[in-house]
A and B are shown apart, each in its own frame.
Chain A
Amino acid sequence: MTQYAIKTEHLSYAYSHRQKRVVHDLDIRVEKGKIYSFLGPNGAGKSTTIKLILGLIRPDQGRIELAGHHAAPQGQRLEIHRKTGILVESPGLYQHLSGQANLKIQAKMRKTNPARIGEVLAQVDMLEAASRKVKTYSTGMKQRLGLAAALLHKPSLLILDEPTNGLDPKGIREIRDLLISLNKNQGITIFLSTHLLSEAEKVSHQIGIIQQGKLLFQGSRNELQSLRSARMMARINTNNNAEAQKILSTDRQVQTDEEGYLLVECDQEKQITQFNRKLVESGLDVYYAAIVREDLEDMFLNLTNNGKE
């Protein structure tokens, strides 16, 4: 049986009775030992979902299980918090203290060996800046320190809200590599939210796409990619596109794009040669024939636009 690190059932939340739900009937399944990207545009309900999971707000409906335990507001919370590393929106850091002092406070609160402080600072490449006050840090540095704090007590689950927020491309890559290595070498389950599809694709085993509080897609990266290949098309232009459409649409869907080119549904790249042959044999001149794939980014936008309708 699949073990879930995070499992929500029919999770719903509205900020007030009068307002629309920001999280709607969410069934999230985060498998143990995997990296799960919770993907959605800004304002889709990602942070609210994370706050619900963490118990900072209470759901109007639904149930949350963490590591197989029902996460009631107080019941199992302490045990769960002991095993979970958390980085929320803007990390909770005391601006007037140094990075090191912040980690010391957290180490004491979590009864962690202070020797870990140096280790986690090295992991996020913050050793040099550790003695500076947090208020002098850039957003990216705060994010790194927040991540260091989340790792301090060797958690088995990491919940990270936009962990690469404010980082430059190099920083994004470093954090991505760090997350992958934490997952691979220490078996840490990671649940991270992001609005960047490319990020989600690069790090995660599982992806959940949320839009306007609803889950539009949830599955493995491969499933998402096969959805993508299902959206492969042959783009064709001939001397008589109306005739070509008749010929090709006998066994498949054919559409016309804005330039008047034909878009023919296809499953495999090599099918384009069959289309070409068919058209030439029917006496048409083929000027252009190419495979187009719907970019994953387009697909993400499509998925999320559909949610708007």
Chain B
Amino acid sequence: MIMQMIALEFNKLRATPAFWISVIGPFILSALVFTLFFFGGETRVRQGMNPYDFFLSMGWNISAFFLLPLYVVLINALVVSVEHNNEGWKLLLTAPVTRFSVYISKWISIILFILFTYSLFVVFLLGFVYLLSLLKPEIGFSGYSPDLHRLFWWFFKLFVASMALSTIQYQLSLWMKNAFKPIGIGLMGVVAGMILMEWKHVDYFPYGYTGQSFLSMSQGENHLVLHEYLSLVYMVVILAAGWFLWRRKQFR
């Protein structure tokens, strides 16, 4: 039943803003990095640097602190608001499906959206860097290739780091009918995460986790670190606590 509900979720969201930002967002971001290197890449890439890796890490750099967490905030609000805006809750809760499957399938759908978008970002980054190597060989691509193992860890660490944030935003979006509220709160959280980047307890502040993962990768940590494990702990605890609250929610 849950699998079927997830499939329905994607049916419902076809051609909605949730779908478009998930596809166009990573494309535009990768295209921007491409533009940055296309015009003046020669001066950016220093002798002895792997231009592929430099390109890829630039991609994560411009997205990890603000744009990826912003996407997580938006996708949660957009996926849930489809129900708020269309009296969808009444429809779902009077259908022969359990409340739990409604709750969990929506959360899983959002996680799949995030997985899809981050994967798409990897694909677009790789596509654009190959395009760049064809159009601008003078940047010094010859003799190098992208470090796919490292690319996987960029992707995986940021994905794990997004779980706590996503689960918190999911709860906010479930309870707040007006989608601007969870988006506003999320936006403030993400900005706070950037400000608190150097704070010694930042490992406990989920809104800064994607930024922290970027910093961790920059230090060559190709493995999960404390805040990423904490992200998973937050996810489990908040998801469970959220269910105990939401299962008794009244739909006036």
Contacts and interface: CB of A to CB of B under 8 A. Distances in A.
B226 interface: no
Contacts of B142: none
Interface stretch (A100-108, A162-170, A197-205): A100-108
Contacts of A55: 93-94
B93 A106 contact: no
Given A51-B251, A81-B94, A86-B94, A92 B99 contact: no
A57 to B, nearest CB: 4
Given A81-B94, A93-B87, A74 B99 contact: yes
A104 to B, nearest CB: 7
B11 interface: yes
B95 A96 contact: no
Interface in A56-105: 56-58, 74, 78-79, 81-82, 84, 86, 88-97, 101, 104-105
A288 interface: no
Most buried by A among B7, B14, B16, B96: B96
A134 to B, nearest CB: 8
A109 interface: yes
B85 interface: yes
B90 interface: yes
Interface in A17-76: 51, 54-58, 74
Contacts of B5: 109
B11 A104 contact: yes
A91 B87 contact: yes
A217 to B, nearest CB: 27
A110 interface: yes
B251 A110 contact: no
Given A51-B252, A94-B82, A108 B8 contact: yes
Given A89-B87, A94-B12, A108-B4, A78 B98 contact: yes
B252 A92 contact: no
A82 B87 contact: no
Interface in B4-24: 4-5, 7-8, 11-12, 14-16
A123 to B, nearest CB: 20
B127 interface: no
Most buried by A among B8, B90, B92, B250: B90
Contacts of B94: 54-56, 81, 84, 86, 88
Contacts of B11: 101, 104-105, 108
B16 A58 contact: no
Given A90-B87, A106-B91, A58 B12 contact: no
Interface residues of A, number: 31
A57 B87 contact: no
A62 to B, nearest CB: 15
B86 A81 contact: no
Nearest to A83: B96
Nearest to B251: A56
B85 A95 contact: yes
B97 interface: yes
Contacts of B184: none
A56 B250 contact: yes
Contacts of A86: 94
Nearest to B247: A74
B88 interface: yes
A81 B87 contact: no
A79 B15 CA distance: 34
Given A15-B252, A92-B90, A105-B12, A110 B99 contact: no
Nearest to B252: A57
A54 B252 CA distance: 11
Contact of B88 (A82, A84, A92, A101): A92
A101 to B, nearest CB: 8
Most buried by A among B88, B95, B250: B95
A168 B69 CA distance: 49
A15 B250 CA distance: 10
A73 B90 CA distance: 14
A54 B86 CA distance: 18
A105 B8 contact: yes
Given A82-B96, A106-B95, A110-B95, A96 B16 contact: yes
Contact of A94 (B88, B89, B93, B251): B88
Contact of A88 (B8, B15, B87, B97): B87
27 contacts: A51-B252, A54-B93, A55-B94, A56-B90, A56-B94, A57-B250, A58-B250, A78-B98, A81-B94, A81-B96, A89-B87, A92-B87, A92-B88, A92-B89, A93-B91, A94-B12, A94-B86, A95-B85, A95-B86, A97-B12, A101-B11, A105-B8, A108-B11, A109-B4, A109-B8, A109-B95, A110-B95
Given A57-B251, A101-B11, 15 more contacts: A55-B93, A56-B93, A56-B94, A74-B99, A78-B97, A81-B95, A88-B87, A89-B87, A91-B91, A92-B86, A92-B92, A94-B12, A94-B82, A97-B12, A110-B95
The 3 closest A-B pairs by CB, nearest first: A92-B91, A92-B87, A56-B251
